[in-house]
């Protein structure tokens, strides 16, 4: 018989196999110093385009003050236990009420983490007779949530309403046979490439098909919509979203998440969601910190205005310079270039070492072979100078890429550690 760990010794996984060459640089890089538009990477200052601190709250002095005061008042432990047993407080309730009001829903429930929270939400919403229909490009947490489902599931082509409709027809047949219902899942904003989910078109299908709609709006919350309530508000269909989800890990610059919807549904989730029933309650420092952040989202619209000023300047600058930024409809700014993986690595190394720019890089198999995706996350703390430096650097790296400079440099990448 094989030892359980033989498989691990033989194959470290699709990313793990690159660890010797990539760790500390391309994966698990250490960005140091206060979270801001400029941080330090390997001792040097870089313009940071890879942190989802959209509204610049991570290091906002008012936020830091409240975080520190809450840590002093409550420590890291309080409250102990799961919400249902001993981890419930008035401040948890207050935050839920304020979140529900902010996203225009009857009720909300706090989740400790977005990832396990949405996974558990999906698990709780469906029984084995139900059918899930979801976008094929869904975030890993949605895919993992669907993996827990014991019944049928269908994917539709990314943001393709015709494909969704075909799958809704299949799902309807299936649900009629099994005696279940249908859950459709989309993201509000697809975080890799920045397109908004077609929430309006999906919601319109409710007239023809009987389904409930769950939206993961991790990147939309705080950044989209007139009041920052997200992609549903932006597209005028917040009421059609049956279960709205957002994390605190992006605009709120913290940890935690929530779901919101009709009170009856949220109450059901509250009493049945395993990830919250059997896990310690969100700690007070995070609850108090989230109340402060939410107040700032409500009362300081200039933060979102500044964010969009930067997003628009960056995206316009890239487009004017002939860069392909795909179909983004959000702050997430992808830049597509053509090149091999070794070229991509050499290019990113050049960007970081010589131009002082730190952004995320995505290559095959996440995107098609031969493409390089550089992903920029503008925030309200970036400056026009950051944007100008970045546009200039991108023009230079593109011309070096086209001249084959990175093909030659590729041989030396990997010796950076």
Stretch that binds ligand PLP, among 10-18, 86-94, 113-121, 377-385 (CB under 6 A): 113-121
Nearer to ligand PLP, 221 or 323 (CB): 221
> Which residues 230-289 are close enough to bind ligand PLP by CB under 6 A?
247, 249, 257
Stretch that binds ligand PLP, among 21-29, 108-116, 169-177, 193-201 (CB under 6 A): 108-116
Q: Cβ 245 to ligand PLP, closest distance in Å? A: 7
Exposed (0-12), middle (13-18) or buried (19+): which is 111, by Cβ within 10 Å? buried
Backbone angles phi, psi at 107, to 5 degrees: -150, 160
Are the C-beta atoms of 188 and 223 separated by less than 8 Å? no
Nearer to ligand PLP, 116 or 238 (CB): 116
Q: Cβ 257 to ligand PLP, closest distance in Å? A: 5
Nearer to ligand PLP, 118 or 266 (CB): 118
Q: Cβ 373 to ligand PLP, closest distance in Å? A: 16
Q: Cβ 187 to ligand PLP, closest distance in Å? A: 5
* SS (HEC) of 148-159: CCCCCEEEECCC
Q: How far apart are CA 27 and CA 44, in angstroms?
A: 18
Among 87, 114, 194, 230, binds ligand PLP (CB under 6 A): 114
Rule CB under 6 A: say whether 35 interacts with ligand PLP: no
Greatest CA separation for the chain? 64
Q: Cβ 408 to ligand PLP, closest distance in Å? A: 36
Nearer to ligand PLP, 79 or 188 (CB): 188
Vertex 43, ends 41 and 46: CA angle to 5°?
45
Rg of the chain over all Cα atoms, to the nearest angstrom: 22
Are the C-beta atoms of 46 and 365 separated by less than 8 Å? no
Nearer to ligand PLP, 29 or 342 (CB): 29
Are the C-beta atoms of 279 and 237 separated by less than 8 Å? no
From the list 401, 278, 385, the residue with the least C-alpha distance to 343 is: 401
Nearer to ligand PLP, 139 or 198 (CB): 139
Q: How far apart are CA 341 and CA 338, in angstroms?
A: 10
Among 216, 234, 242, 350, binds ligand PLP (CB under 6 A): 216
Rule CB under 6 A: say whether 218 interacts with ligand PLP: yes
Q: Cβ 216 to ligand PLP, closest distance in Å? A: 5
Residues in Cβ contact with 370 at an 8 Å cutoff, skipping those fewer than 6 apart: 338, 339, 340, 364
Say if strands 257-261 and 243-247 run parallel, antiparallel, or are unpaired: antiparallel
Q: How far apart are CA 269 and CA 108, in angstroms?
A: 10
Nearer to ligand PLP, 121 or 174 (CB): 121
Residues in Cβ contact with 368 at an 8 Å cutoff, skipping those fewer than 6 apart: none
**Structure-token match 């610049």, residue found:** 56
Determine the residue with CB nearest ligand PLP: 114
Rule CB under 6 A: say whether 196 interacts with ligand PLP: no
Say if strands 333-338 and 357-358 run parallel, antiparallel, or are unpaired: unpaired
Rule CB under 6 A: say whether 115 interacts with ligand PLP: yes
Rule CB under 6 A: say whether 135 interacts with ligand PLP: no
Rule CB under 6 A: say whether 146 interacts with ligand PLP: no
Rule CB under 6 A: say whether 315 interacts with ligand PLP: no
Nearer to ligand PLP, 130 or 137 (CB): 137
Are the C-beta atoms of 207 and 343 separated by less than 8 Å? no
Q: Cβ 139 to ligand PLP, closest distance in Å? A: 4
User: Residues in contact with ligand PLP, total (CB under 6 A)?
Assistant: 13
Among 49, 54, 102, 113, binds ligand PLP (CB under 6 A): 113
Nearer to ligand PLP, 141 or 314 (CB): 141
Exposed (0-12), middle (13-18) or buried (19+): which is 88, by Cβ within 10 Å? middle
Say if strands 371-376 and 333-338 run parallel, antiparallel, or are unpaired: antiparallel
Q: Cβ 239 to ligand PLP, closest distance in Å? A: 22
> What residues line the site for ligand PLP (CB under 6 A)?
113-115, 118, 139, 141, 187, 191, 216, 218, 247, 249, 257
């Amino acid at each position: 018989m094989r030892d359980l760990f033989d498989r691990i010794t033989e194959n470290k996984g699709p990313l793990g196999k690159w660890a010797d060459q990539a760790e500390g640089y391309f994966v698990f890089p250490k960005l140091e110093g206060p979270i801001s538009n400029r941080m330090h990477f390997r001792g040097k200052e870089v313009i940071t385009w890879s942190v989802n601190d959209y509204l610049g709250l991570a290091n906002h002095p008012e936020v830091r003050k409240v975080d520190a005061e809450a840590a002093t008042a409550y420590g890291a432990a309080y409250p102990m236990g799961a919400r249902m047993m001993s981890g419930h407080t008035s401040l948890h309730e207050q935050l839920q009420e304020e979140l529900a009001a902010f996203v225009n829903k009857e009720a909300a429930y706090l989740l400790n983490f977005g990832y396990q929270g949405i996974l558990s939400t999906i698990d709780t919403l469906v029984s084995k007779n139900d059918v899930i229909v979801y976008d094929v490009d869904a975030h890993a947490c949605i895919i993992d949530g669907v993996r827990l489902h014991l019944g049928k599931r269908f994917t539709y082509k990314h943001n393709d309403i015709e494909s969704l409709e075909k799958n809704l027809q299949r799902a309807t047949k299936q649900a009629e046979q099994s005696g279940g219902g249908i859950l459709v899942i989309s993201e509000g904003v697809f975080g890799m490439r920045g397109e908004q989910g077609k929430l309006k078109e999906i919601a319109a299908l409710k007239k023809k098909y009987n389904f409930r709609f769950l939206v993961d709006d991790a990147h939309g919350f705080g950044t989209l919509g007139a009041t920052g309530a997200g992609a549903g508000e932006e597209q005028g269909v917040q009421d059609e979203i049956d279960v709205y989800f957002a994390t605190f890990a992006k605009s709120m610059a913290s940890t935690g998440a929530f779901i919101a919807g009709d009170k009856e549904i949220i109450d059901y989730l509250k009493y049945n969601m395993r990830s919250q029933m059997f896990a310690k309650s969100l700690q007070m420092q995070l609850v108090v910190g989230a109340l402060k952040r939410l107040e700032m989202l409500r009362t300081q619209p200039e933060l979102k205005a500044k964010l969009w000023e930067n997003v628009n300047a960056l995206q316009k600058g890239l487009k004017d310079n002939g860069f392909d930024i795909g179909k983004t409809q959000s702050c997430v700014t992808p830049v597509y270039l053509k090149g091999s993986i070794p070229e991509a690595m050499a290019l990113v190394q050049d960007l970081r070492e010589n131009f002082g720019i730190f952004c995320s890089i995505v290559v095959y198999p996440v995107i098609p072979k031969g493409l390089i995706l550089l992903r920029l996350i503008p925030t309200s703390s970036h400056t026009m100078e950051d944007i100008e430096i970045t546009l200039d650097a991108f023009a230079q790296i593109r011309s070096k890429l086209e001249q084959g400079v990175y093909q030659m440099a590729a041989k030396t990448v990997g010796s950076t550690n």
